[in-house]
């Protein structure tokens, strides 16, 4: 006897079960070879998967428009972590600029992500929605394993190493993000120990710390360097004077500093849009209004039916306004 043919609904249910078994309830990215070819084709056809690049897919909403990029951006960093680890293992690290965006928890996905490689290989990998990966040999800019931290599964430069590796132009391009992370620095020694890596980079960090109001922290870095006989070269202020925010978020999340920055930036606009509160009534005018309505309202409040679980209450018409108000509030009924 021939086996009954599965319905389309059954096939889809089994395909979704297989996908769920592979990636679980929290992941949003899957590689084509992780699931059966028939499963992949069916889920692509039904809109439950969309291709990022050949062989890599992100979980999608079948009801979303074909050009809807919401889930791509929601899964972007997760996809990037899986892709780079699959290709290069521990032989990669995000560039200083890309590492900065992860440290500052920036929610803007840049059009181009730069990746330093520990192997002699260069490639530009195009992604969907106009994004791309630029991968090239890190050479002298490649951090040591001690100078690498994992953020959302991505190998990034540690914050001190990242800051001293930023070129001057990025202090203008990403000045808000840099100021956010400067407010979280807690150990001056972590900066000073990198003097042989880039003394000029440390000078820019020290100058930027002074600009954002962390003069004492900057001086501690200088004292540690002076103890080893190193004098920092002088550099001009990295930030524009009208774009400096004193956030002081040491030991706190970058999101805390970002909220403070947004408030400092938009405070006057928000206050200008605040609605004007209505003028307060003078007490005498308010009591006159009460007197005018007292007779009519007292009539309706004379009997509160027991059917509502409230005993009958008689309020004298000649009650004083304050006593009348007390009755309204106490019995909670006004008709």
Residue 293 lies in a domain: no
pLDDT 10s digits, 141-158? 899 999 999 998 999 999
Number of separate domains in the chain: 3
- 57 in Cβ contact with 39 (< 8 Å): no
Residue 295 lies in a domain: no
Q: 164 with 249, same domain?
A: yes
Q: Which two tokens stand for residue 95?
A: 């560039």
The mean pLDDT value of the chain amounts to 80
Q: 148 with 166, same domain?
A: no
Q: What percent of the chain has pLDDT over 90?
A: 25
The range of the structural domain enclosing residue 121 comes to: 89-157
pLDDT 10s digits, 280-300? 767 777 777 777 777 666 666
Q: 253 with 185, same domain?
A: yes
Q: 172 with 252, same domain?
A: yes
Select from 218, 236, 265 the last residue of a domain: 265
Residue 223 lies in a domain: yes
Instruction: Identify the pLDDT of residue 328.
Output: 40
Instruction: Identify the pLDDT of residue 302.
Output: 56
pLDDT above 70 (res 213): yes
pTM above 0.75, yes or no: no
Residue 307 lies in a domain: no
Q: Spell out the residues 6+ positions from residue 184 whose beta carbon is closer than 8 angstroms to its own.
A: 159, 249, 250, 251, 252, 254, 257
Q: 41 with 101, same domain?
A: no
What does the DSSP 8-state code read for residue 148? E
- State the DSSP string of 200-218: HHHHHHHHHHHHTT-HHHH
pLDDT 10s digits, 244-283? 776 666 667 788 888 888 888 888 898 888 888 777 767 7
Residue 275 lies in a domain: no
Q: 163 with 231, same domain?
A: yes
Residue 294 lies in a domain: no
The total of other beta-carbon atoms located within 10 Å of residue 227's CB is 9
Q: 143 with 93, same domain?
A: yes
- 257 in Cβ contact with 250 (< 8 Å): no
pLDDT 10s digits, 63-91? 777 677 787 788 888 888 988 998 899 99
Select from 73, 103, 128 the last residue of a domain: 73
pLDDT above 50 (res 92): yes
pLDDT 10s digits, 7-50? 777 878 888 887 787 777 667 777 777 788 888 888 878 778 87
pLDDT above 90 (res 117): yes
Report the candidate in 165, 148, 250 with the shortest Cα–Cα distance to residue 200.
165
Residue 261 lies in a domain: yes
CA distance 57 to 141: 32
- 154 in Cβ contact with 83 (< 8 Å): no
Q: Which of 94-103, 215-224, 285-294 has the lowest mean pLDDT?
A: 285-294
Q: 22 with 65, same domain?
A: yes
Q: 57 with 148, same domain?
A: no
Q: 143 with 212, same domain?
A: no
Overall average pLDDT of the 161-167 stretch: 94
Q: 118 with 40, same domain?
A: no
Select from 234, 250, 265 the last residue of a domain: 265
Chain centroid to CA 221: 30
Q: Which of 129-138, 200-209, 228-237, 322-331 has the lowest mean pLDDT?
A: 322-331
Residue 103: pLDDT band with limits 50, 70, 90? very high
Instruction: Identify the pLDDT of residue 299.
Output: 61
- 248 in Cβ contact with 262 (< 8 Å): no
CA distance 205 to 225: 13
Instruction: Identify the pLDDT of residue 236.
Output: 83
Residue 98 lies in a domain: yes
Bigger pLDDT: 301 vs 322: 301
Instruction: Identify the pLDDT of residue 25.
Output: 67
Q: 132 with 225, same domain?
A: no
Instruction: Identify the pLDDT of residue 142.
Output: 92
Which stretches does DSSP call E strand in 2-147?
Answer: 29-31, 49-53, 56-59, 92-94, 112-117, 123-126, 132-137
């Amino acid at each position: 006897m021939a086996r009954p043919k599965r319905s389309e609904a059954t096939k889809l249910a089994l395909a979704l079960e297989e996908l769920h078994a592979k990636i679980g309830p929290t992941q949003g990215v899957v590689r084509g070879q992780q699931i059966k070819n028939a499963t992949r084709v069916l889920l692509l056809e039904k809109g439950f998967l969309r291709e990022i690049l050949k062989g890599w897919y992100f979980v999608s909403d079948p009801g979303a428009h074909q050009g809807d990029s919401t889930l791509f951006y929601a899964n972007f960093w997760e996809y990037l972590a899986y892709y780079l680890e699959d290709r290069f293992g521990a032989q990669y690290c995000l560039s200083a600029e890309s590492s900065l965006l992860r440290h500052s928890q920036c929610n803007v996905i840049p059009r181009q992500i730069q990746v330093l490689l520990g192997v002699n290989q260069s490639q530009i990998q195009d992604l969907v929605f106009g994004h791309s990966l630029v991968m090239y040999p890190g050479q002298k800019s490649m951090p040591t394993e001690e100078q690498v931290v994992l953020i959302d599964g991505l190998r990034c430069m540690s914050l001190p190493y990242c800051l001293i590796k930023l070129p001057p132009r990025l202090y203008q391009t990403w000045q808000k993000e840099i100021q956010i992370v400067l407010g979280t620095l807690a150990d001056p020694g972590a900066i000073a120990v990198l003097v042989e890596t880039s003394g000029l980079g440390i000078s820019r960090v020290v100058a930027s710390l002074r600009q954002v109001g962390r003069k004492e922290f900057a001086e501690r870095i200088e004292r540690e360097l002076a103890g080893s006989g190193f004098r920092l070269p002088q550099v001009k202020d990295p930030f524009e004077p009208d774009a400096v925010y004193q956030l002081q978020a040491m030991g706190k999340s970058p999101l805390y500093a970002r909220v403070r920055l947004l408030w400092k930036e938009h405070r006057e606009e928000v206050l200008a849009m605040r609605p004007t509160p209505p003028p307060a009534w003078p007490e005498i005018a308010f009591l006159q209004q009460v007197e005018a309505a007292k007779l009519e309202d007292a009539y309706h409040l004379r009997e509160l039916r027991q059917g509502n679980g409230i005993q009958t209450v008689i309020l004298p018409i000649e009650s004083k306004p304050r006593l009348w108000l007390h009755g309204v509030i106490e019995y909670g009924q006004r008709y």
